[in-house]
Structure 1
Amino acid sequence: MPMETDARHAVVVGAGMAGLAAARVLADSFEAVTVIERDTLSRASAPRGGAPQGHHVHGLLALGAEVFEGYFPGLRAELEQAGAPVWDWGEKLCAVLPKGTPPPTPMGMPIQTFSRPLLEHVLRQRVTALGSVTLRDGLTVTGLRTASPGKVTGVRVKDGDGEDEIAADLVVDASGRSSHLPQWLTALGLPSPRTTTVDAQVGYASRTFSYPEGQAPPAWMGLLQPLRAPDFHKGCYAIQIENNALHVTLHGAKGAQLPHGDDDFLAYAKTLRGPIAETIASLTPTSSVRRYARTVNRKIAYHRLARWPDGLIALGDAVCTFNPAYGQGMTVAALEARLLEQMLGNRRARTPLDGQEFQKRLARVTASSWLMATTPDRAWEDARPAWPVKAGNWFMNRLIDTVPHDPRLYTAFSGLFHMTAGPLTLANPRLLSSVLIGPRPASTR
């Protein structure tokens, strides 16, 4: 039920993960929520043009899964019924790291793997089932509707029949990497926000496979072989997903020539350590090879603008995007929705949401994920990294090199990776000394 406020109508631009999560939260505080999506959406689970990364491996971290389950009770069970497997991260992940592969280590950390289109489809059905939410697809937002430069009162939209305006008490830009918000703010006479980018020049090539009749899937549920500057230019991610399929993404940095078709996909896989080439050699491809290269980390400093219009907020990839290799995007979107819920709940009755304060707090939500993604990615850049970046990469590399030889450290690092634990986890003297001493075979520890 909507809260007793004068908040009547909210418009969310974008029906991706961040937009759907925001719409779910807004439905508790507004009488009506309209989600506007540029793509024409399928009624089934299928990739859409506005999310080309949907063809590639996606991961929902443990914390993100927990937050989404809170907003959509029974989500995990619904996805499992659709074929998405649930497995323990420590037991069923094959992590091919530079200094070895950690042995199976039960962690009690349940992970669910699925395609991005399946998750988006299920969430879209859940959101549109809410009585106060309307989804309008095939509609492009062309600008902001304003009463003055300091007050946003809705959006201007365009479809095949012409242009129109939609009034709103709050506009949420969740339109992703293609957001035009900086230009819209400039058109209102507001200063252009500063944009920071970090580009490791990572590219992806992905496809899905099915298992021949009678062939059992591999013992692992997920396979991870990360990139690392300057020596490890190639890697992969592979997960078992719905429809008994294996989803494989090969990736490379700094000029690695990614495959285009059947033969060079397997040839690329054969250049990697670990079992990926042997696994896919006998499988049947069920999709063409899809490539993707928009992996730059980008942060727009809306939180530093001295002026911010009332009735407007921005979140998700419209504000801060990460190299997808680190799997943080969907989880950060869930955390941003949680921030929105907190701020809507804490405001005084009959007062609008403070958009400027929201952007400031959102910057704090994304800060640690930005650091986790950009510190290793800066090592790929041509410019000599600053000493804090070098020190951070040295420590992280030492940590990852030690993980295969220390089950307790592997468990602690997994909690850090999945955002269920903070960096202070590694302040434990035993774990910290293990990292500083470095990797040692079990027989010599």
Structure 2
Amino acid sequence: MGGSIGGIVTAAYLTKYFKRITIIESDDVLSDTFMKSTPNQLLDYRCRLGGPTSLGRSGVSQMYHLHVLESEGHKILQELFPQLKDKLLNEYDVREYSFKTDCRFMVNGFLLNQDLTEDFPLLGIDRFTLETAMRKELCLQYGNQIEWKCNSRAVQLIVDQSLNIIKGIKYRQKHHVDSSSIDLYGDFIIDCTGRNTSSVKWLKESFNLIVPTMQIHFGLGYVTFIGERFKTGDPSLDSKQIVACSFNSPDNNTGFATTPIREIKTMDENSLGTLSTLLVQCVNYEYPPNDSYENLLEWIKEKLGPECYSVFKSTKVCSPLVSYRRAIDDRKYVEQLGKKWPQNYVLLGDAMCTFNPGYAQGMTHACRQARELGKIFQENCHKLKDISHIFNRRASAISEECWLLSTTNDWKTPTLKIVETDKNGEIKIYQRGDDSAPTKSLQPQESLMLQFMQWYTHWFSLCASKSPQLSTDFYRVMTQHSSPSILMKPTTLLTVFYTAFINYFNLSKK
């Protein structure tokens, strides 16, 4: 279920193990507009769109915002679709960029050292184009095995409660809500429908199974658009196509990013020769305006400082300003249910866990989980009925790595709200900074480990600003090449503790 990036990659991996794969997709993604448009027509569509419904893509509300496929995700796509990269480079005017030479990244108020000991490739492309190109490639390579049911939506599970197994789903045409549902049976069912998945509701209805969840609301909002960047006069900015500054709550609740999506031909010597997706973002509900670019620039000038203002002021806007205010950290702890979880059914990607999009982990997280599911089938030593439980454990370990990176700083937000649901269905709400509420909320309690991670992240960022190796290690984690554990190697721990001690000692002397 779900034909976006997670569904496409999962389908490609599983073609080796199933004769027939059916993709239930709520939008008309095989329409001529998507499948027969030229690269330039796709770009024109993208630049005109004011929201996902503008082109019938309501199922992916965040589709047109800034997305980055991290280099580990890039590696997975190359494995599955060997021709895709060349097509993107040669037909779509996409270019591969280098973290070492093309990136300027501020983390927790510190500029990461740019003299990296290892490079990481980044494909400069927007999600709309990437997903469309991937879908074309999937149909080209595996068209005989894959059946699409577009404009369709799953509405119910078909289950055998006595065997604790899911045998299929009921679906109906999206535009015929009053029509009878259609039964579709399958040997294995994957929910790739994203953060708004209905699986939690269906499992409760069908098995009285409650999935433990945690939702972290931290007031994230952002505005994105496509623009042509021009020279600012500052070589440190003009020489970098990828410029980003993360927020560092509570001291700084705003951030920005710009990533290239197309090379363009221009006679203007002041142009940087690229179209980019630009983003301004906030936490703590300090939302940027999207009613006019002039108002957005004023907001940037006040909130984000001269560097960001210089980049955005010298940018020509080429699309509507699109806002998004519904992103949260949302994790379903499926691994805690063990064998209570039904057989032959899994959640994958955003359906299992979503993160603060400011860390650009979502697409690569889904690709890694799809690869892990493929590995489980490839091992050829597991019974089909056991695969969902094995996958839940392994996929949750992947989610844990991304969750740690994403939520450590989100917990520092002044207006934080946590909603926890346990296995018994008991819901607890914790809220910080809500003095106006008629009943006093429980206060979120940060564990000692979380407090340590917040402290450590600050001092590690300072050390990384001076160390090529530590900056490289940080990028390895951010691009999902390595586990966050590499940031706590003995030598790194010693460096961070020593730096913190010296700074505390110097401050105490003053």
Return the TM-score normalized by structure 1. 0.89
State whether structure 2 residue 114 is matched by structure 1 residue 126: no
1:296-445 alignment to 2 at 5 Å? 296-305=328-337, 306-348=339-381, 351-352=384-385, 354-380=387-413, 381=416, 382=432, 383-438=444-499
In structure 2, distance between residues paired with 1:424 and 1:279: 35
Match of 2:218, as an amino acid?
A
- Are residues 246 and 128 of structure 1, via their aligned partners in 2, closer, same or farther at CA, if it must alter by over 3 Å? same
Measured after TM superposition, the shift of residue 120 of structure 1 is 0.8
Q: Which of residues 189, 192, 198 in structure 2 aligns to 1:180?
A: 198
Matching of residue 291 in structure 1 with residue 300 in structure 2: no
Conserved? CA contact 1:343–1:353, under 8 Å: no
Q: 2:93 aligns with which of 75, 79, 83?
A: 83
- For the 8 Å contact 2:169–2:184, the answer to whether it is kept is yes
* Structure 1 gap segments, 5+ residues each: 1-12
State whether structure 2 residue 38 is matched by structure 1 residue 29: no
Q: How does 1:127-146 map to 2 (within 5 A)?
A: 127-129=138-140, 130=142, 131-146=144-159
Is residue 53 of structure 1 aligned with residue 62 of structure 2? Answer: yes
Alignment check: 8 A CA contact 1:128 1:135 kept: no
* Equivalent residue in structure 2 for 1:201, among 214, 219, 222: 219
1:424 and 1:361, CA in 2 relative to 1: closer, same or farther beyond 3 A?
Answer: closer
Q: Closer, same or farther in 2 for the Cα pair 1:349/1:333, shift >3 Å?
A: closer
Q: Does 1:246 align with 2:249?
A: no
Shift of 1:275: 2.8
Which residue number in structure 2 is paired with residue 227 of structure 1?
Answer: 247
Distance of aligned partners of 1:353 and 1:136 in 2 relative to their CA distance in 1, 3 Å threshold: farther
Partner of 1:404: helix, strand, or coil? helix
Deviation digits for residues 336-373 of structure 1 (CA, Å, limit 9, x no counterpart): 11111111122348855622222222212211111111
TM-score (norm: length of structure 2):
0.78
8 Å Cα contact 1:402/1:438 also seen in 2: yes
Question: Does the aligned pair in 2 maintain the 1:347–1:353 contact within 8 Å?
Answer: no
- Distance in 2 of aligned mates of 1:370 and 1:283: 33
* TM-aligned CA deviation for residue 31 of structure 1: 0.6
- Structure 2 residue 21 is the aligned partner of structure 1 residue 15: no
Deviations 1:139-189 (A, max 9, x none): 111111234462222211111452312221111111101111111112213
Cα 1:436–1:330 shift into 2, 3 Å? same
**Amino acid of the residue matched to residue 282 of structure 2?**
G
Q: 189, 192, 205: which one pairs with 2:210? A: 192
Cα distance, 1:28–1:400 mapped onto 2, change above 3 Å: same
SS for the counterpart of 1:238 is: strand
Mark the CA change 1:196 to 1:33 in structure 2 (over 3 Å): closer, same or farther: same
Shift of 1:290: 0.8
Aligned to 1:8: none
Would you say 1:264 and 2:295 are equivalent positions? yes
Secondary structure (helix, strand or coil) at the match of 1:96 reads strand
3-state secondary structure, aligned to 1:55: coil
- What amino acid is aligned across from residue 343 of structure 2 in structure 1? D
Same amino acid, percent of matched pairs = 20
Q: Secondary structure at the match of 2:238?
A: coil
In structure 1, how many angstroms separate the alpha carbons of the residues matched to 2:331 and 2:260?
Answer: 32
Rounded to whole Å, the distance in 2 between the matches of 1:85 and 1:237 is: 18
Q: Which moved more, 1:53-62 or 1:28-37?
A: 53-62
CA shift at 1:206, angstroms? 0.8
The one-character-per-residue Cα deviations of 1:51-104 (angstroms, maximum 9, x if unpaired) are 121221111112121122111213332222212221110221112345543454
CA shift digits 1:111-145 (9 cap, x unpaired): 11211111111111122221201222111111112
SS at match of 1:245: strand
User: Which residue identity lines up with residue 245 of structure 1 in the other structure?
Assistant: L
Give the stretch that moved more between structures: 297-306 or 120-129. 297-306
Aligned pair count?
Answer: 428
| Residue identity matched to 1:339 | E
Structure 2 segments unaligned to the other structure (5+ residues) = 47-51, 264-273, 417-431, 433-443, 504-510
CA distance in 2, matches of 1:408, 1:114: 28
